[in-house]
Amino acid sequence: MTRRRGKKRTNPLIYVALVAASLFAILPLLWGLSTSFKSESATLSDQGWIPAQFTFENYRLVLFESKIPLYLGNTLLVAGLTVIATIVIAIFGAYAAARFRFRGKTTSMFLILMTSMIPGIAILVPLYFLAVSLGLYDTYAVMVIIYTAWQIPTVIWMLKGFFESIPDSIEEAGRVDGASHWRVMVQLIFPLAVPGIAAAAVISFIYVWNDFLIASTMISTDDKRLVAVGLYNYLSQYGVVWGQLTAAVVVTIIPIILVFVLMERRIVAGLSAGATKG
């Protein structure tokens, strides 16, 4: 009886709310997936969720007669370089913030966090003129630099909490064995931080993948467009053709789904461990 009373009863309204939220997020995706397999005439006449007649013509047009594959390649390149640059820079800053004690540490971390709260559109014009002045406008480099600068504060705070969750005894044991501070950091601490690093990398990747503001402002050459802007231009060029629109959306969503499926465990482990401290 004591054990039964000790168990907390879960409110069924919580499950109802979770199911409702899940349906709210999934139903538009399912509608898009269904529409992508319909012909253009069927998108207006066939209102059912299951197409009366399946067709892959929309996917053929998107993959072989549009620039969507080129936009996907551009986005993968920029996102990959951004993730590498962000993690390399932020990992050392987060480690220093978690392990070292120095004057002004709290103020510095607060100021770093404040930079991530500045709306991107507020500094878009100065960034544009700066890119033009430096000769970086309409290049992949300017997007990588801006994305990296905007992601570093958030990633530093994420990894800081993860590093603080790693026991200090591990570093002390390494120093007792004669390992240098650099060796302890690289060979002992960083491998343990892989889940947190993976979670931060995925968040940075998704940020670049979904961005429209910077990608539309800093790039003017169509062949250098990222997928968010390229998808918009593709639609504006051919008009609102719902079958091709939804097929293009499905194609651009697949990489994000694959990233989550392949790194689900590391993402959950990294976010939960980093939330314990910090």
Q: Is the pLDDT of residue 239 over 50?
A: yes
Question: pLDDT tens-digit profile of 246-270?
Answer: 888 889 888 888 887 877 776 666 5
Question: pLDDT tens-digit profile of 126-143?
Answer: 999 999 999 999 999 999
Percent of the chain's residues with pLDDT above 70: 88
Q: Structure pTM?
A: 0.82
Question: pLDDT tens-digit profile of 95-113?
Answer: 888 888 878 778 888 888 8
In order of their start, the domains of the chain are: 12-55 (no CATH), 57-274 (1.10.3720.10)
3-state SS record for the chain = CHHHHHCCCCCHHHHHHHHHHHHHHHHHHHHHHHHHCCCHHHHHHCCCCCCCCCCCHHHHHHHHCCCHHHHHHHHHHHHHHHHHHHHHHHHHHHHHHHHCCCCCHHHHHHHHHHHCCCCHHHHHHHHHHHHHHCCCCCCHHHHHHHHHHHHHHHHHHHHHHHHHCCCHHHHHHHHHCCCCHHHHHHHHHHHHCHHHHHHHHHHHHHHHHHCCHHHHHHCCCHHHCCHHHHHHHHHHHHCCCHHHHHHHHHHHHHHHHHHHHHCHHHHHHHHHHHCCCC
Question: pLDDT tens-digit profile of 52-88?
Answer: 788 888 899 888 888 889 999 999 999 999 999 999 9
